[in-house]
Chain A
Amino acid sequence: MSFAYFPHTDEDIRQMLGRIGVKSLEDLYADVPAEIRYTREFELPDSLSEIELRRKFEELDRKNSRLTVFCGCGAYDHYAPAVIPALTARSEYLTAYTPYQAEISQGTLRYIFEYQSMITELTGMDCTNASMYDGPTAAAEVMLMAMAATRKKKRVLLADTLLPQVREVVETYAKYHGVEIGRIAQKDGNTDLESLCRELESGDVAGALVPSVNRFGIIEDLSGMADALHAAKALLMVYADPSALAVIRTPGEWGADITCGDAQTLGLPLLFGGPYVGYLACRKELVRKLPGRIVGATHDLDGKRAFVLTLQAREQHIRREKANSNICSNQSLMALYVTIYLSLMGPEGLRQVNALSYGGAHELHDKLIATGLFEEVFDRPFLKEFVLKSRIPAATLQQALLREGFLAALETEEGYVSFCVTEKRTREEIDRMLSIIKQLKP
């Protein structure tokens, strides 16, 4: 039975079996006990041709709603220029493996080096790795790093203002790795320095993870945190949206030791949550504690500049159970998305993205308040995302907007409603959404 992905003709199979010295394909499995050979029909659908397959996915696509996105909560609807899919689809990138054979992988190695350079620029840190799975798992790896980098510590602190999915993933890793998790309370929407200092009194804290822009959209003031943590021989770890770092104070400027986050905001589609790409950057003193792949510059036998995976003595394939992390791959292709995006945007483009998002978000915010249906929760600077108290029940509000094709007003754990505006949103969309909201009664 021929099939497009199997090149073997019956004659090929016959000749190859002859060379091996067996009679049939079944004979190749003579060592598999008969009782575990699967001889029944598989409970799978019939094979589809390309035409049928395409039709099937078009039908699946129609079962989803295309919404105008006015929310974030960890996934942001920024614009991805047309150049990105055109270049990332190149099979030389797409169908390559991890660049172990550096001589024929300079394309991958070079863009990862560029990616590392851009991430360190944005975060204000010294070094970074070749990327992580997503923001929350990068945060979990940061927790492992803090434990490995400090002595005789057993706790890591998480700010209450971190996204819930970040806290939950870190807590899961911590539970099985045997790390205690402490919490830092928030005050007026900002991580509370006094609460942090109280937690540090016990002397058993390896580090604290706080957001740069938090789950309320507030740009946090992290003043005094690095000093407090360093005095307690603990690390300041900042969870930051790298897109925002083009304009807001960087983890490096706050005195952070490690920073991480999700770089989905840098040119990646929403795609129901993945693939995204995490990043993890640190001060150079911690470089040998970094998980995952790292690319470095070197030269070849002829003296040509070239790039290679380096500092591999940290990694699982060398250290096995003594490694600090089990990370084996990165999200390489997604790091290419980020690299191309940042190349296109440059410092000015990224500033404009933030300015457009800021302007739109503040206009929406003010117009929502003006309806009289919403109240301010925190009086603090925000960038593109904000929360309000709604006089209309969150579910009612969300459903009404959903019916008209808007995704907005996601509910936080406190019952606030969350909104977000990116450079993709227009004044017309904002006004249309407001006209729907104004028809609702508290």
Chain B
Amino acid sequence: MKYYDKLIFELSKEGRQGFSLPENTWAQGLEELPDNLKRTKRAALPEVSELDVVRHYTNLSNMNFGVDTGFYPLGSCTMKYNPKINEEIAAMAGFQGIHPLQPVETVQGVLQIYDELDRALSAITGMAKFTLNPFAGAHGELTGLMIMRQYHLQRGDNKRTKVIVPDSAHGTNPASAAVCGLEVVEVKSTPQGTIDVEDLRPLLDDTIAGIMMTNPNTLGLFETEILQIAELVHGCGGLLYYDGANMNPLVGVARPGDMGFDILHLNLHKTFSTPHGGGGPGAGPVGVAAHLTEYLPNPKVVRQEDGRYTIEGNDTAAGRISGFMGNFGVLMRAYAYILRLGRQHVKMVGPLATLNANYIKEELKDCFKLPIEACCKHEFVFDGLKDQSTGITTLDVAKRLLDYGFHAPTIYFPLLFHQAIMIEPTETESKETLDGFIAIMRCIAREALENPEELRSAPHHTPVRRLDETTAAKQPVLTFADLAAS
């Protein structure tokens, strides 16, 4: 197919229209507004027909790659299948038209979804109660840290201004801590990739608000010392925060609440199958242990004794973190997914995800450098090709994968390894898909030795080839107006 290079603005022709609105029969009009409150220059939006719009965005979509297109082994992102029934449910006309400020008696069905999803997530994670208001994983982290701080502040414990974050943590962890007004203290990993308890010990004192952990961590390794870490952190008066980005391998197997975690967030767009949408909308519900429920942000859904649902707020809550009550459309999809799983199938999510990851690791570790030899969980990290004599980098390998119809893994993260390739297959991929991926990865490892140029200049078969990112950052062209002027 020919490369489609249009922007919608380039299809525009003055006087063309793509909308249909009722005739205006009202007596009063915008001309009544005082001149100093009126816009002076018409906005240069496109003027296109309806079919122009449909063709344009259909053509653009053909240059995209989604989970429905092919295998997406993007580490830490849990790109599992997004069930179609969930889309249909979220699009049901009744829900679409509900105003967020409708009185509670008119939204009992909506509030029941909040309550039942809260209970289901609590059962799966071992927490006491959730807020479903956070919009994304990073937003959940921030909310969780606000709860952590609120807990200490409410106890008059004002000195606790530091939070411990492992060196392998997602970038959002330290950034969320900083936005929440906490100072980040880094704890090192052992050569085996887990938190170094001996490095942790001296950090613990009465200035520590808590620790943020991802378990399994970003190397896909279970933090085997978790019970000891929990005891130490609790012993110094701190709380344990669980970054749920890596919850998938534990679903049905173990619960963060049983490991001593006090606060956690989940990424419903990862573990609970809601589509990533090209970068959102997601949802980052935050669950807490029983002693922290009063600090969950407002507003909150409460189930009354008579079975009716109400929306309430309280003064000791960590405040308000969303305009209304989160991404309801995403919450519905996640709840639909949980109901399809039910108690019968939930136990297989983690084990099959873990099986898939270990299978790929074992099949490829003779071609790629495996820095830590261990049974991984949902993902694992290679440190580039085993034979790096030709100078082929992780970026080259990733770009070559695109030529073969696979999305690339996460690359250059975690920062512990210079050539990191982080692979997460998820439980929804079949052995045949994994075998196909493994064959291509082995083929690329061979190409690296036999025909390295082919890799350095990859990809060759994608809509566009490698981009000039340096110029993009040095001379930013961020709008059509910039483009027209450049």
Contacts and interface: CB of A to CB of B under 8 A. Distances in A.
Interface in B170-199: 170-172, 174-181, 184
Contacts of B413: 317
A37 interface: yes
A400 interface: no
A38 B276 contact: no
B320 A301 contact: no
Interface in B438-477: 457, 459, 462-469, 471-473, 476-477
Contact of B463 (A106, A347, A353): A106
A345 B45 CA distance: 8
Given A46-B344, A57-B336, A127-B478, A347 B44 contact: yes
A438 interface: no
Interface stretch (B130-138, B285-293, B386-394): B130-138
A358 B47 contact: no
Interface stretch (B200-208, B233-241, B352-360): B352-360
Contact of A275 (B224, B281, B346): B281
B325 interface: yes
Contacts of B321: 137, 169, 172-173
27 contacts: A5-B273, A8-B431, A13-B355, A16-B355, A31-B221, A32-B253, A41-B343, A47-B340, A67-B97, A103-B402, A126-B479, A168-B320, A172-B319, A178-B181, A245-B43, A248-B33, A271-B95, A272-B99, A295-B478, A298-B472, A306-B464, A310-B472, A316-B171, A340-B53, A346-B47, A354-B30, A398-B103
Given A300-B464, A323-B178, A53 B149 contact: no
B324 A165 contact: yes
B67 A104 contact: no
A245 B175 contact: no
Nearest to B403: A103
B304 interface: no
A28 B358 contact: yes
A46 B344 CA distance: 7
Interface stretch (A109-117, A152-160, A202-210): A109-117
B22 interface: yes
A330 B280 contact: yes
A300 B469 CA distance: 9
A352 B471 CA distance: 41
B346 A42 contact: yes
A64 B109 contact: yes
Nearest to B137: A328
A105 B74 CA distance: 14
Interface string A176-216: 11100000000000000000000000000000000000000
Contacts of B82: 91, 94-95
A348 B329 CA distance: 31
A31 B428 contact: no
Given A65-B106, A270-B96, A304-B464, A345 B18 contact: yes
A320 B178 CA distance: 9
Nearest to A97: B276
Contact of B65 (A92, A114, A133, A331): A92
Given A121-B481, A270-B96, A299-B468, A90 B72 contact: no
Contact of B253 (A38, A166, A328): A38
Given A111-B60, A166-B323, A347-B43, 15 more contacts: A31-B221, A35-B227, A48-B340, A56-B339, A64-B110, A91-B82, A103-B399, A105-B64, A247-B33, A270-B98, A296-B476, A308-B467, A320-B174, A326-B179, A381-B32
B398 interface: yes
B141 interface: yes
A286 interface: no
B427 interface: yes
Interface in B235-269: 252-255, 258-259
A426 B178 CA distance: 50
A117 B481 contact: yes
A108 interface: yes
Contacts of A339: 8
A235 interface: no
B39 A250 contact: yes
10 shortest interchain CB distances as A-B pairs: A359-B26, A273-B324, A47-B342, A172-B319, A273-B100, A63-B109, A333-B277, A95-B66, A316-B175, A107-B64
Interface in A207-260: 219, 221, 223, 245-250, 253
B222 A329 contact: no
B103 A402 contact: yes
Contact of A92 (B61, B79, B322, B344): B61
Interface residues of A, number: 204
Interface string A311-341: 1110111111111011111111110100110
A122 B358 CA distance: 51
Interface in B1-57: 3, 5, 7-9, 12, 16-22, 24-30, 32-34, 36-40, 42-48, 50, 52-54, 56-57
A326 B141 contact: yes
A370 interface: no
A253 B39 contact: yes
A22 B47 CA distance: 62
Interface residues of B, number: 201
A301 to B, nearest CB: 4
A78 to B, nearest CB: 11
B345 A47 contact: yes
A31 B224 contact: yes
A6 B25 contact: no
B166 interface: no
Interface string B372-416: 001100000000000000000000001100100001100001000
Contacts of A36: 226-227, 254-255, 258-259
A96 B343 contact: no
A407 interface: yes
B175 A326 contact: yes
Given A93-B61, A245-B43, A64 B98 contact: yes
Contacts of B252: 38, 42
A355 interface: yes
Given A98-B279, A106-B63, A319 B44 contact: no
A94 B43 contact: no
Given A81-B19, A275-B330, A248 B281 contact: no
Interface string A32-69: 11011110011111111010011011111111111101
B53 A44 contact: no
Contacts of A63: 108-109, 112
Contact of B149 (A90, A127, A176): A176
A369 interface: no
A441 interface: no
B60 A271 contact: no
Interface string B137-173: 1110110011001000000000000000000001110
B477 A176 contact: no
Given A38-B255, A87-B58, A310-B472, A103 B463 contact: yes
Interface in A98-152: 98-108, 110-111, 113-114, 116-118, 120-122, 126-128, 130-131, 133-137, 144
